[in-house]
Amino acid sequence: MTEQFDFTTTEEQTDAVDTSVFGEDTRTEAKQIIARYPESRSALLPMLHLVQSVQGHVSPAGMKFCAEELALSVAEVSAVATFYTMYKRKPCGQHLVSVCTNTMCAALGGDAIYKALGDHLGVGHEGTAGEPGTEGSITIEHAECLAACDLAPVLQVNYEYYDNQTPEQALDLVKSLQRGEKPAPTRGPALSDFRGAERQLAGFFDDLDETVTGPSLATETVRGAELARDRGWTAPSMPDDAELPPLPEKK
């Protein structure tokens, strides 16, 4: 049985799922999310992040909760939750460590980083070392391109970047997390935990000033723009009367 079928339930099974874990505060915040959109079903993605901020994953209860709040079927919610990798079907650790193993990072050491961390933690892709949600527990995963090739190899902890990593640096980082420490990311705000990051992805910033504090760019990323500025390089502007190619004929 594949993971996606774990959420295939009969109507009777769905009715039996208890959603009481989502208290009044969560239900109030769900309504705030829904109010952001002209169509309630458009709120599903942040709603799934909200339930992950409560439970640390998207459970059958979380799917039923979203379905009830958005007037959708559980099957419709399940189809979305099982499509996106950011929605976890098993409880996550306090920290989610995502190691980029796409082409650039892999060539520069991403695979070696993933192996070093996997060997240390004793788990594989989407495995959790420690009791999920408890202090120092770690979930590790392969990540399919973290969009930071200029800083490869990179990894993320709860979606915050740690750039130019080596297996030794990554191992020290994970050991620090296991000790309850939260080393500062290379870029971005102070490190939260997985559930805190999910709350932000749902659109709730309980301390906005703290959330936006921290470096937001890397020297390597803006080097080309700096060179162009210093040397007076500019791109030619497009004339207002430029002739555009015709649109292809629909068949």
Q: Please tell me whether residues 192 and 99 are part of one structural domain.
A: yes
Is residue 242 pLDDT above 50, yes or no?
Answer: yes
Q: pLDDT tens digit string along 97-108? A: 999 999 999 999
Q: Please tell me whether residues 125 and 180 are part of one structural domain.
A: yes
**14 found inside a domain:** no
**16 found inside a domain:** no
**109 found inside a domain:** yes
**225 found inside a domain:** no
Kindly report the CATH number assigned to the domain that includes residue 191: 3.40.30.10
pLDDT over 70 for what percent of the chain?
Answer: 94
| Nearest-angstrom CA–CA distance, 145 and 114 | 14
Q: What is the pLDDT of residue 134?
A: 94
DSSP 109: T
Q: What is the pLDDT of residue 221?
A: 86
Q: How confident is the model at residue 32 (pLDDT cuts 50, 70, 90)?
A: very high
Is residue 2 pLDDT above 80, yes or no?
Answer: no
**200 found inside a domain:** yes
Q: Is 66 annotated as a binding residue?
A: no
172-177 long-range contacts (CB < 8 A, ≥24 apart) are 174/97, 174/117, 174/120, 174/121, 174/138, 175/120, 177/94, 177/95, 177/97, 177/136, 177/138
**185 found inside a domain:** yes
Q: What is the pLDDT of residue 97?
A: 98
Q: How confident is the model at residue 124 (pLDDT cuts 50, 70, 90)?
A: very high
Q: Please tell me whether residues 76 and 110 are part of one structural domain.
A: no
Q: Please tell me whether residues 133 and 77 are part of one structural domain.
A: no
Q: Please tell me whether residues 112 and 199 are part of one structural domain.
A: yes
Q: What is the pLDDT of residue 64?
A: 96
pTM of the model: 0.84
Q: What is the pLDDT of residue 141?
A: 97
Q: How confident is the model at residue 217 (pLDDT cuts 50, 70, 90)?
A: confident
Q: Please tell me whether residues 167 and 78 are part of one structural domain.
A: no
Is residue 1 pLDDT above 80, yes or no?
Answer: no
Q: Please tell me whether residues 109 and 199 are part of one structural domain.
A: yes
**112 found inside a domain:** yes
Q: How confident is the model at residue 127 (pLDDT cuts 50, 70, 90)?
A: very high
Q: Please tell me whether residues 68 and 102 are part of one structural domain.
A: no
Q: Indicate the number of domains in the chain.
A: 2
Q: Please tell me whether residues 69 and 143 are part of one structural domain.
A: no
Is residue 211 pLDDT above 90, yes or no?
Answer: no
Q: Please tell me whether residues 104 and 143 are part of one structural domain.
A: yes
* Tokens found for residue 125: 């892709």
The more confident residue out of 42 and 8 is 42
Q: What is the pLDDT of residue 103?
A: 92
Q: What is the mean pLDDT of residues 110-127?
A: 97
Nearest to 147 by CA among 196, 98, 194: 98
Q: Please tell me whether residues 104 and 64 are part of one structural domain.
A: no
Structural contact between residues 17 and 7, judged by C-beta atoms closer than 8 angstroms: no
- Determine the structural domain holding residue 58 and report its residue range: 24-83
Cis peptide before 153 (omega within 30 of 0): yes
Kindly report the CATH number assigned to the domain that includes residue 46: 1.10.10
**248 found inside a domain:** no
**Which of 83, 103, 120 marks a domain boundary?**
83
Q: Is 105 annotated as a binding residue?
A: yes
Q: pLDDT tens digit string along 144-202? A: 899 999 999 999 999 999 999 999 999 999 999 999 999 999 998 889 999 999 999 99
Average pLDDT, the chain: 91
Q: pLDDT tens digit string along 79-101? A: 999 999 999 999 999 999 999 99
Q: Is 149 annotated as a binding residue?
A: yes
The residue length of the chain stands at: 251
The more confident residue out of 48 and 211 is 48
